[in-house]
Structures are given as C-alpha cells and as structure tokens.
Amino acid sequence: MSRTFTMGDLKHRLQERQHKMTPQRQTVLQVFLDHPGKHLSAEDVHGMLRDSHSEIGLATVYRSLELLSELGILQKMEFGDGCSRYEVNTTNPSEHHHHHLICTKCGRVTEFEDDLLDDLEEDIRRKIGFKVENHQVKFYGICKECQQSVEG
C-alpha cells in the first residue's frame, strides 16, 4: 500500500544511495510533497517554481527529476502524449504500483489502487515460469466529467 513521505524520508532515501540533498533537489521534491497525487512534468514543476519566485532553471529541474527517478525516489511515467510525468514513488518495492486512468479529452490522470492482475501474474508464473516483479497499467478513455459535458 502507498504511504506519505516527509522531506526527511526523501533525504534519507537520497543518502542511502550516496547522493546529497542539494537545495535544488529539495526545492524540486517539495513541489511533489505540496501536490500529492499529482503527475507533474518538468515544465509543470518549473512553472510552479517560477510562480513562487524560485531561480531554479528548467535544465536543473530536468536533471533533478531524472536523477530522482533513477534512484527510485520519483516514479517516471509516460501517458502516451510524449511528455514524461513524475510522482513520488510511495509504493513498497515488493508491491505493485497503482494503475492510471487517462482521459483522452481533458488529459486528467486518475489513480486506481485495485490490482486486477494478480491472477494473471500467477498464471504467467505457472505456465511460462516467468516471475512478474511489477507492471504498469494505463486505461485510456473519457472521464465522468467529460462524459457529462457531452451529454449536458
């Protein structure tokens, strides 16, 4: 199950991987802590930092996001629109990530916590001998709000 992290938790995770919590990394991570459950692109993060009068450049944001995702602190996701988005990786490594529901009209991304593929993974292990360690599922469709706006 997912949990909430503090800046201290994230600093510890960086130090475990022999990296320092630089002021820039801390500022970037704070954006994610301030917007839990959001799937933010580098441009989103940079815009939020710029709005709060931060001097961190877009290139620094990109480097920070890439490093933090390589270290498993952030989870990098692709939703089929050519833009990488990130969120704090709150899952236990021995458990699966949540799934994403992506609206093809408004682009809203909703998280879905139920893991529907446990039986399929067991079937794959039994029949093929392949042990699935993790998976990502993305469902594309039209969210309730967009459906209502078309009907209304």
Q: What is the pLDDT of residues 37-86, one digit of tens each?
A: 788 999 999 999 999 988 899 999 999 999 888 888 888 888 777 788 89
Find out whether 106 is annotated in a ligand binding site.
yes
**Is pLDDT at 13 greater than 80 in this prediction?**
no
Find out whether 143 is annotated in a ligand binding site.
yes
Find out whether 146 is annotated in a ligand binding site.
yes
In this structure, which amino acid lies at residue 134? Answer: N
Q: Is the pTM of this model over 0.85?
A: no
Domain final residue, candidates 50, 78, 95: 95
Residues 50 and 90 in one domain: yes
Domain range for 27: 1-95
Find out whether 83 is annotated in a ligand binding site.
no
Helical residues (DSSP H) of 20-143, grouped into ranges: 23-34, 42-51, 58-70, 118-128
Which residues does residue 112 pair with via DSSP β-bridges, in sequence order?
99
Number of domains into which the chain is organized: 2
Residues 74 and 130 in one domain: no
Residues 133 and 119 in one domain: yes
Let me know: does 143 contact 110? Beta carbons within 8 Å: yes
The model's pLDDT over 78-114, given as tens digits with 9 standing for 90+, comes to 877 778 889 887 665 555 556 778 888 887 777 776 6
Residues 8 and 62 in one domain: yes
Element (H, E) at 144: helix 144-151
Confidence of residue 19 (pLDDT cuts 50, 70, 90): confident
Residues 72 and 108 in one domain: no
